[in-house]
Structure 1
Amino acid sequence: MRIENSFIPVRGVGETTERRLWEQGITHWDEFERDAVGETTGERIATFIEQGRDHLAASDARFFDEAFPSQERWRLYEDFRDAACYFDIETTGLSHHRDQVTTVSLLRDGEVRTLVNDPDPIVGEPLTREALREALDAPLLVTFNGTTFDVPFLETSYDIDLDAAHLDLRYACKRVGLSGGLKAIENDVGIERDRPDISGRDAVRLWKEYERGQTGSLETLVSYNRDDAVNLRTLMDDLSTTLHEDCAGGLV
């Protein structure tokens, strides 16, 4: 499902109207004609399509993030998949006011990077405000539970504003009946890890060991964190296919 297949952001267009358009063979903006719906709705759809083309050409995912109903924002994925930044953080605890970020792994433009809260890490790059701003400067951010954890943690800890379009896969997973943490969901859909026995609690332990001088613990932590970031794209690829089938039922 692509943004150009969608009419549901338009005021007055719900799931029923959108499906009726698809059933008429109007499955893409290029195929829309005003007389397919009432005059007022037809004018609104035509206006949205005109604006949408300009925002797509400008790679403005934020426009569509605001236009789509929250439960339908997964439709941004196909258009912005290659430009998205998939990221995950590890921390010393759950409070973004008391605890600190230890590592941030990001997959972007086919490259995996890890920023480490150390001015001279043995692996990865130093984690700084400037490095974060540059690494996360993407039209679409993809996380798991990032709405309530990763994003506020980084914004508080590094005084940055992550206002890009954001797909939180925790909610996309719920729509297709997948619940639990990221590792449990990966197991459910058949995504394998190099280090399946490591958990978030282990990530805290590994950082503490590194602070005590056990350098191998940082290498293990970085490997674990990178799996999180890389697997987000694999998981969203799977979710996108499932959500498309559930939503369009073969019509699009």
Structure 2
Amino acid sequence: MRIENSFIPVRGVGERTERRLWEAGVTRWEAFDPSAPGVGGTTADRIEAFIQEASTHLQRGDASYFDRQFPSDERWRLYENFRESTCFFDIETTGLDQRRDRVTTVSLHRSGETTTLVRGHDLTADRLRREFEAADMLATFNGARFDVPFLEESFGLDVTTPHLDLMYPCRKIDLSGGLKPIERELGIERELPDVDGREAVRLWHRYEDGDEDALDRLIAYNREDAVNLRRLADRVTGELHDRTFPVDTDP
């Protein structure tokens, strides 16, 4: 689903009104007519005003505007428009305490390229800030509660780039639990299925003791997390599209 298919950001338009518009053939902004069934004059005026304003922001590629306009549980609808400029990222740490533990690696996947930043090498606040500011959207799994606040605490960042935490769209299609079980349920394969978060901590400590191979393995694991987020986002938003948008239309 694309942003242009959506009317739900408009005050007075809920899921039922939006669905009535779709079923009446109003599947894109340019198809809207104030005489559309089930829409009163006031709501029609609001829709027209929204379309005019939103079209300008869409032409500018302003993801932040739509991040503010869409209800939080519907922000997955931004993904199709901003997929290629989305930064999928995942962090590894020495533990779960943001004040005591350290970030060891951060892998970022965007436009088919993956970069891994390593503590003590190129993992710095400035580098993270540049990476996030270069993206229109961020995508994580449980990043709203873990990855983003951990980075903000550890590096003094204020992450303001629109953020799609895939854990919540997964729940909308009854996929619960951690990232790895969800990947297995969807058939998303891994090259390092035996490495998990606890092993990632041990790998970092082995690297600190001089084992360079342990760092290579940690980086490979972290990179796989980031790359698989793209696959997960494609699958989950595709499923949500099929469940939400019951009209055959070109995206």
For the superposition of Structure 1 and Structure 2, which TM-score range results when normalised by the shorter chain? over 0.9
2:232 paired with 1:235: yes
Task: Tell me which residue corresponds to 1:218.
Answer: 215
| AA partner of residue 136 (structure 1) | F
- SS for the counterpart of 1:66 is helix
**Distance in 2 between the 1:232 and 1:219 partners?**
20
Misfit runs of 4+, over 4 Å:
none
SS of residue paired to 2:247: coil
Distance 1:34 1:186 in 2: 44
- How far apart, in 2, do the equivalents of 1:246 and 1:60 lie? 26
Following superposition, the deviation at residue 251 of structure 1 comes to: 4.9
**3-state SS of paired residue (1:35):** coil
1:179 to 176, 181, 193: 176
Q: Percent identity?
A: 57
Aligned to 2:131, which of 108, 130, 135?
A: 135
**Counterpart pick for 1:106 among 105, 108, 123:** 108
Shift of 1:101: 0.3
> One-letter code of the match for 1:24?
A
2:245 partner letter: A
Structure 2: which amino acid aligns with 1:9?
Answer: P
Secondary structure at 2:175 match in 1: coil
- Matched with 1:208 is 205
- Cα distance in 2 for partners of 1:53, 1:250 equals 22
1:34 aligns with 2:34: yes
Q: Do the aligned residues in 2 keep the contact of 1:61 with 1:139 (CA within 8 Å)? A: yes
CA RMSD of aligned residues (A): 0.9
Question: 1:250: Cα distance to partner?
Answer: 3.5
2:17 corresponds to: 17
- Which string of whole-angstrom CA distances, capped at 9 and with x for unpartnered residues, describes residues 132-187 of structure 1? 11111211000000000000001111111111111000001000010111111000
Amino acid at match of 1:70: S
The normalised TM-score by structure 1 is: 0.96
Amino acid paired to 2:239 = T
What is the DSSP-based 3-state SS (H/G/I as helix, E as strand, rest coil) of the residue aligned with 2:35?
helix
Residue segments in structure 2 that go unaligned for 5+ positions in a row: none
Query: Which residue identity is paired with 1:128?
Result: T
Q: Which residue of 2 aligns with 1:56?
A: 58
Given that residues 4 and 28 in structure 1 are in contact (C-alpha distance below 8 angstroms), is that contact kept between their aligned partners in structure 2? yes
Aligned counterpart in structure 2 of residue 69 of structure 1, from 68, 71, 75: 71
Following the alignment from structure 1 to structure 2, what is the Cα–Cα distance between the partners of residues 34 and 244?
25
